[in-house]
Amino acid sequence: MKRFFAVLIVLILVLFLVSGCISNTQGQHDKSFFAMDTVMTFRVYGDRSAKKAMNKAIDRIKEIESHMSSTHKDSDVVKINKAAGVEPVKVHDDTFYVIKKAVEYGKLSNGALDITIRPIVELWGITSDKPRVPSQEEIEEKLALVDYNKVVLDEDKKTVFLENEGMGIDLGAIAKGFAADEAVRILREAGVESALLNLGGNVITIGSNPDGRPWRIGIQDPRTEETGQPHFTIVGVTDATVVSSGDYERYIEEVYEKTGERYHHIFDPRTGYPAQAGLIACTIITSSSIDADALSTILFVMGREEGLKLIEGLDNIEGIAVTTDKEIYTTEGLKASLIPSNDNYRIVD
């Protein structure tokens, strides 16, 4: 866990360092805070109304967390999980929307993203103080409870029901993206024209850098402990979200130190094990953070070939996949513009 926060701090510094020299023609408002189990950093440009909007956006993120957390005792998610196999639970509109969206992505990916993964998450406990590698028998027992098709949604009543007792949902792969989109909405409605937000790996830009150039976002090197480099490439974006996932974020450190095996936090819902599809990191670039959040997980679980093929079929979405051999594969829209920022990686045509 300590290593996870250290990586986040490095990422935040990298993002701000590579954003370019900034003209101080507008007020600059910076704020770091902790929400949704991660460190978040906002940089917003504008007058006092921009600062007020920034604080409003932060409050909105914390409100979303209170509804969608898997650990807050009064959250919609906890109530849904407690009532699994018993009765439907009425939820906030936001929670219903996010769950519905997640189920749609479950169908799109044939289960590569499945929010009913909660029993597997709890079994491994990778984000807890006592992570462990469970037995195959334990995994198979919990895997029987994982099936997004058994999430029953009532649009009119805004209720959610899990068909079987013992089932549980976890919105960790998508809720942060929704929160990012809500923050952007609030800032835009307040007239903010330039901002850089980092929600623990979900990076969102509003407009361009105040000096008129695109924001330059460094994408973290997933093997920085080996290469000594903070990022493997830099992308220039305007009005976009850049979301990355990888096996370097959270994993069982004790096992890795003894065996070199990374049991990380991104599970394959079809196997009950941390995803092993030949990737160490992936990134999605698009306009919607909720979509990028879901698709970054899907790409990592599906792997380079199948995952990038799916993304190529979606409009206005680009993807980057980094293999265990440190080879970089991208969707067609990025092939001409992506340049490695260190020699440890190479782009494959």
CA distance 95 to 146: 20
Q: Which of 161-170, 269-278, 315-324, 336-345 has the lowest mean pLDDT?
A: 336-345
Segment 6-25 shows an average pLDDT of 43
Specify the fold of 2-66+177-347. T-fold (3.10.520)
Structure tokens at 45: 């440009």
pTM: 0.90
pLDDT at 112 over 80: yes
Helix (H) or strand (E) holding 251: none
Residue 128: the pLDDT is: 82
The arithmetic mean of pLDDT across residues 169-190, rounded, is 97
Contact present, 195 and 42 (Cβ < 8 Å): yes
Q: Note the pLDDT tens digit of each residue in 228-258.
A: 999 999 999 999 999 999 988 776 666 656 6
Residue 279's pLDDT band (boundaries 50, 70, 90)?
A: very high
Q: What is the pLDDT of residue 282?
A: 97
For the chain, the domains span 2-66+177-347, 70-162
In this structure, the dihedral spanned by the alpha carbons of residues 174, 113, 237 and 24, taken in order and rounded to 10 degrees, is 20
pLDDT on residue 339? 82
Give, in degrees to the nearest 5, the angle at Cα 131 between 126 and 136: 90
Q: Tell me the average pLDDT across 72-89.
A: 97
Question: Average pLDDT over the chain, rounded to whole?
Answer: 91
Q: Among the CATH numbers 3.40.50.1000, 3.30.465.10, 1.10.3980.10, 1.10.3720.10, which is that of 70-162?
A: 1.10.3980.10
